[in-house]
């Protein structure tokens, strides 16, 4: 049997931009994506800590080291610059994998720099 487990999490990433005239997605600093294993075009679940909105979209690569977190398209209506988000990705694990699984989680500061991580 497979179960769904948390694979990755960017905790308290701050929205740096909102672009309503884009086709849609969430642009993230590629360094942050690599740190927690979020793939280009991977489905993400996003929770906005400030207003309680939750939405699914996909992640796209932003410039490395930029700290970018941009709400694109329709998602730009669900948050504002400065909001803290929790970006989550899930995986499916077998019974054997469940015992060893540890999600990749980082907590970010107000400039989207890593202040703590768990692996």
Candidates 8, 25, 66, 117; catalytic one:
25
CA distances from 110 to 32, 94, 107 (A): 14, 37, 10
Candidates 8, 58, 94, 117; catalytic one:
58
Select from 50, 1, 55 the least CA-distant residue to 24.
Answer: 55
Is 25 known to be catalytic? yes
Distance of CA 46 to the CA centre of its chain: 6
Is 58 known to be catalytic? yes
**Cα–Cα distance between 53 and 46 in angstroms, integer?**
8
Concatenating the DSSP letter of every residue in 63-111 gives -TTS--EEEEGGGGGS--TT-EEEEEEEEEE-HHHHHH---EEEEE-TT
Active site residues: 25, 58
């Amino acid at each position: 049997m497979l179960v769904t487990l948390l694979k990755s999490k960017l905790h308290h990433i701050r929205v740096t931009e909102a672009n309503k005239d884009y086709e849609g997605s969430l642009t993230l600093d590629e360094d942050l994506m690599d740190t927690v294993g979020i793939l280009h075009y991977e489905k993400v679940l996003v929770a906005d800590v400030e207003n309680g909105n939750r939405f699914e979209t996909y992640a796209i690569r932003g410039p490395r080291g930029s700290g970018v977190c941009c709400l694109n398209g329709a998602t730009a209506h669900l948050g504002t610059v400065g909001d803290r988000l929790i970006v989550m990705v899930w995986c499916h694990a077998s019974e054997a994998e469940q015992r060893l699984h540890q999600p990749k989680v980082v907590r970010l500061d107000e400039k989207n720099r890593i202040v703590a991580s768990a692996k």
